[in-house]
Every structure is written in structure tokens, then in C-alpha cells.
Amino acid sequence: MTLTIVVFLLLGLVLLVAGAELLVRGASRLALRFGISPLVIGLTVVAFGTSAPELAVSVQSGLAGQSGIAVGNIVGSNIFNVLMVLGLSALITPLLVSQQLVRVDVPLMIGASMLLWIMALDGRIGLFDGLLLTAGIIAYTLFAIRQSRKESAAVLAEYAQELGESGGTWMGRLPVQVALIIGGLALLVLGAYWLVDSAVAIARALGVSEVIIGLTIVAAGTSLPELATSVVAAIRGERDIAVGNVIGSCIFNLLAIAGIAALVAPGGLIVATSMLHFDIPVMFVVALACLPIFAAGHLVARWEGALFLVYYLAYVLYLVLAATQHAALPLFSTAMLGFALPLTVVTLVVLLVRYRTQTAKSQV
């Protein structure tokens, strides 16, 4: 593995983040120009725009026949988004969770995770699967726009403040907005090409599978826009945006990115057996865990954010130990299965019971 490969990997990540930033800025201001509400832009353009690096990388990998990176990027990004991005944001400040997230978006994320798991059971996400997933993201976008009309004035004001008015500034000019969109797309394409080629070279040099690289380096790298958006929103106190961005991006990854990548990949996306037996179930369980945590008080507390972060570190450690066949792997697996996971299940059950008790009292 040469220094040049590492440099191109880092350059690819930089171009992906910069491209996503330009794309979001240009598209959001252009949407405001045409009278689309800031909340709708936040739920669609911003959340989807921050997932543009995942889309670029997965499509590039699919076209190149490198399904391990394409699927690993999707699954790994969702795990990273919930455990790392949401965990770090909640550690900065407790995050408020809206009713819509609990009643609609989180259940949809859980359902989409289960759907992807079912589609992958035969070892392939094929053309028909891709069409179904792509239709799902179109339906979700239309639904999000319709639901946004019911949001409170406080949420509307929060998104308006985040996106800002582009009135008399240079950002308000149509040619600038179009140039930002075109420039952002160009950087995404080039960054994806460099990142995928470098990741494959690193995987071969280290003797690990493309799946592991996709689940870790590529997934974390392409999720940097979500990390930056949610952490900055948490610091500013825009806690609806911090949570909504993560859930919206996860849904986009599952439906749009997996769908489009399956459509363009020759013969569809091949799903590795190791991912089918471990990583995709982890992604589903992580999505499922959001429901009781979000529902209990409609708040993600700091200790829950810390728990998310610990589990992400444990997940990455497991991948490293498994890839290297380290002697500590059996002990680590036993500790997770015998202690950490049962304790977490009990905690989630307690949160769910508390939520149902509070709901029953409020109805009396």
C-alpha cells in the first residue's frame, strides 16, 4: 500500500464532503426561490443531500461490480448514522424527538431495514428489488412534503433559521445556485471514483475483504456530512434538525441508494454471507432500538447517546477482530452476547413500559 493510495483516499473523502455541501447549499436556496418551505427542504433536500456521498460511492461501486463496497457502504452508513452521529449529538445536548418521527419515520426506517434484509436473503438485491425500493423513496418524499404542512410553528421557524434567507446576498442569484449544484455533483462523482478505487486497493493490500472496508472506512467517510450537520445543529440547539437529518438520511440510504445501485449494477448487488448473517441484522436491531428510546419522553438523553457511541466502538472492534481472526474474538463475542446485549434489551423494555405507562396516564 503506497502513500499515493492513502492520499487519493483522503482526497476522495474531502471532495465528497465538499460536493455534498455545495449541492445542499445550491439546491436548498434554489428550492426557497421557488417557494418550497424550509421544513420540506430540510426533510428532503438537506437530508438527502447529506446522503449524496453514499449515493455516489454505491453507484460507482455497483457499476464497477464491487458489490461489497456498495452494500457495505449502505449498511455501515446507517449503523454509523444512528450510533455515532446520533450518539455524539445527544452527548452534546439531549435531543428532542417529534411525534412524526415516533409515529411515522422511525417505524418506516425499521420497515425499510427489514425489507432490505428480506430482499438480501437470496444473496442478491436484484432489478425488481431496486425498482421497489426506488418507488418507496418517491412515495416517502411525497408523503414528507404533505406531512410538513402539519408541523408546528416552532419547527418551521427552526428549519427557516437553519436554511436562512438568501435574499440580497450573492447566494440569492440563480446562476450562483445552479453553479453550486453542478459543481457539487462534479465533485461527488470525482470523489466517489477516487474513494472507491483507493478503498479497493487498501483492502487488497491489507488482505481484508471489500465488505469490511465498505462497512468501516467508506461508510464513516461518506457519513461525514450527516455528522457535521447533526453535530452543528445540536450545538446551535436545533435539535429537531439533528434527529430528523439522521433518520431521513437512513431512510434515503435504504430506499434510494440501495434501489438506484441495484438498478445500475450489472446483475444487481451481491450480498456477502457475512453481511447477511451479522451486519444487516445489526443494522435492523439498531433501527429497532430507536423506537423505545425515542418514544420514552420523546427525548434522546445524554446517557443514551453515550450508550450508542459505546456500541459503535464495540461494533467496529468486532469487525477488526473478526477480520484479523484475533485470539480475543471469542472472549469479546461472549462478553457482548452474555452481558452487554441482554442488559441493553432490559433497558429498552423498561423504557417501552415507561412510555406506555405515561401514555395511559395522559389518557385518563
DSSP characters over 335-351: HIIIIIHHHHHHHHHHH
196 by DSSP, 3-state: which? Answer: helix
> How is residue 352 written as a grid cell?
417501552
Q: List the grid coordinates of 86.
A: 446520533
Distance CA 286, CA 311 (A): 10
Per the structure block, which three cell numbers stand in for 211?
465488505
Locate cell 473523502: which residue? Answer: 13
User: Which residues lie across from 124 on neighbouring strands?
Assistant: 270
- Residue 143: closest CA among 195, 99, 105: 105
The CATH number that applies at residue 202 is 1.20.1420.30
From first CA to last CA, the distance across the chain in angstroms is 66
DSSP letter assigned to residue 93: S
**Rounded Cα gap, residues 141 and 113, in angstroms:** 17
Residue 325 located in a structural domain: no
Residues 6+ apart with CB under 8 A from 363: none
Strands 269-270 and 124-125, by their bridges, are antiparallel
Judge whether 143 and 21 are in contact, CB under 8 Å.
Answer: no
CA-to-CA distance for 24 and 32, rounded, in angstroms?
A: 12
Residue 337 lies in a domain: no
Which residue type, as a one-letter code, is found at position 52? Answer: A
Number of domains forming the structure of the chain: 1
Domain interval for residue 79: 3-305
Q: Is residue 246 part of a domain?
A: yes
Alpha-carbon span 248 to 230, nearest angstrom? 12
Within-domain flag for 361: no
Query: Could you tell me the pTM of the whole model?
Result: 0.82
> Is 333 a member of any domain?
no
Cα distance between residue 308 and residue 80, in whole Å: 10
Name the nearest CA neighbour of 68 among 84, 57, 53, 52. 57
pLDDT value, residue 159: 59
Cell of 144: 414528507
CB atoms within 10 A of CB 230: 29
The predicted pLDDT at position 120 comes to 94
* Positions in the chain short of pLDDT 50: 166-168
317: in domain: no
- CA angle at 109 for the pair 357 and 188, rounded to the nearest 5°: 145
Does residue 345 lie within any of the structural domains?
no
d(CA 291, CA 107): 7
Backbone angles phi, psi at 96, to 5 degrees: -80, 145
Rounded to an integer, what distance in angstroms lies between the CA atom of residue 328 and that of residue 343?
22
CA distance 87 to 95: 10
| Gyration radius (Cα) of the chain, Å | 20
pLDDT for position 243: 84
- Contact between 198 and 6 under an 8 Å Cβ cutoff? The reply is yes
Q: Is residue 329 part of a domain?
A: no
Q: Looking at the DSSP assignment, which residues form a beta bridge with residue 299?
A: 96
